[in-house]
Amino acid sequence: MQEKAWSREELEKALQEAKRRDMSYSSGRILSSMCTAPHQAGVEAFLRFLDTNLGDPGLFPGTRELERRAVAEIASLLGSGSARGFIVSGGTEANITALWVARELSGVTKPEVVLPETAHFSFEKAARMLRLRLVYAGVHGDSSVDVDEVRRRLSERTVAVVGIAGNTEYGGVDDIEALSELASEQGIYLHVDAAFGGFVLPFLRELGYRVRRFDFSLPGVCSITVDPHKMGLAPVPAGCILFRNEEFLESLQVESPYLSMPVQCTLLGTRSGASAAAVFAVLKSMGREGYRRVVEECMRNTLLLREELLRLGFRVREPWMNILVFEHPEVDAVVELRRRGWAVSRTRAGEARVVLMPHVKREHVEELVEVLREIAP
């Protein structure tokens, strides 16, 4: 570290330089991200609660109450009046926490988890940390898991089955209803990763789309990951882990005798109250109506882009939600788009993938179509 404090000007210059190198959501060129420009109410609440620490809730009972209310609102969106959980740092922490509970409850010595091969890599991290063996099940052409294969992969060592509601690459939704029946019948823990889909599917259903069930209304579902910092429009970091009831949390309790509360259940100790306050503020500022409008707009843009891509001769995967995957028989769209400053991602199968987040406006889609027209022969 340098000896003398920097002047404000020196610091400002360094920060500005860094900012200049970063991409911005407002450019409309970020098509590879599941995050977006946060809602202003969330930004303001985040700043006001910046100094709060939910690792010591006795000092910040007001902030703890905001977290409790935010969690209850998200639970009610996902079909439960009694689910409990926490605002966490994101989908990774939420998925780790869920598998931690499943393993604690099982008492199995060489535990295994059966999950779709489309699962996010956060499960790989969870498995290494918790010493779980991951047993992958294949997927159908629409990217949803083959439930018969899940059944065949179960063993006496299986401590959890994972289903995904909105998989990272295609937005695919597994047949969670069938997984729920299977899990109930076999007495196995079922975790649903709705990190992305949790703030999309309920609103798609309200808009009249045919949507698979995935939430606590299915009796076998024990826990759900859902990320406010994705389609929930909250500032990063904000994930949420929900458990069907309070009892699931008991297996996580660690004594924290010198703190204001005798036990702690979260993976993190010191953790952001700003995130919880921001999630609360965004939920209250949006309401179902607000989210429905956002999802409606994202889907409109997704379907517009799909139509244009088909017209230009691209092969397009049928979208489940606001994630579109496509490829051209002759050109590598990913390379061409990146060369022109558009951040697009690639699926493991090599296709181009774009996420039509709320920062991607209709005019950006139209600009994108112009570029695609140039590169498509």
The Cα 339–Cα 246 span in angstroms is 51
Backbone phi and psi for residue 80, each to the nearest 5 degrees, phi listed first: -140, 135
The Cα 243–Cα 245 span in angstroms is 5
Binding to ligand 0PR by CB under 6 A, coded x per residue (else -) over 158-197, reads ------x--xx------------------------x-xx-
> Residue written as tokens 């009831």?
245
120 lies in the site for ligand 0PR, by CB under 6 A: yes
Select from 43-51, 86-94, 127-135, 142-150 the region that touches ligand 0PR (CB under 6 A).
86-94
33 lies in the site for ligand 0PR, by CB under 6 A: yes
264 CA to centre of own chain? 24
Question: Closer to ligand 0PR at the Cβ: 164 or 183?
Answer: 164
Q: Which two tokens stand for residue 341?
A: 């400053």
The Cα 228–Cα 252 span in angstroms is 23
Q: Which of 34, 135, 369, 371 binds ligand 0PR (CB under 6 A)?
A: 34
Question: Closer to ligand 0PR at the Cβ: 57 or 322?
Answer: 322
> Residue written as tokens 């060592």?
157
Select from 26-34, 50-58, 67-75, 275-283 the region that touches ligand 0PR (CB under 6 A).
26-34
Strand bridging mode 84-88 / 133-137: unpaired
Q: Which two tokens stand for residue 130?
A: 């918790």
Q: Which of 67, 174, 227, 308 binds ligand 0PR (CB under 6 A)?
A: 227
35 closest CA partner among 45, 48, 23? 23
**Angle between helix 40-48 and helix 273-311 axes, rounded to 10 deg:** 160
Q: Which two tokens stand for residue 99?
A: 């598998």
Question: Closer to ligand 0PR at the Cβ: 52 or 168?
Answer: 168
239 lies in the site for ligand 0PR, by CB under 6 A: yes
Question: Closer to ligand 0PR at the Cβ: 94 or 305?
Answer: 94
Whole-number minimum distance, CB 143 to ligand 0PR, in Å? 12
**Which residues sit at the interface with ligand 0PR, rule CB under 6 A?**
32-35, 90-92, 95, 120, 122, 164, 167-168, 193, 195-196, 227, 239
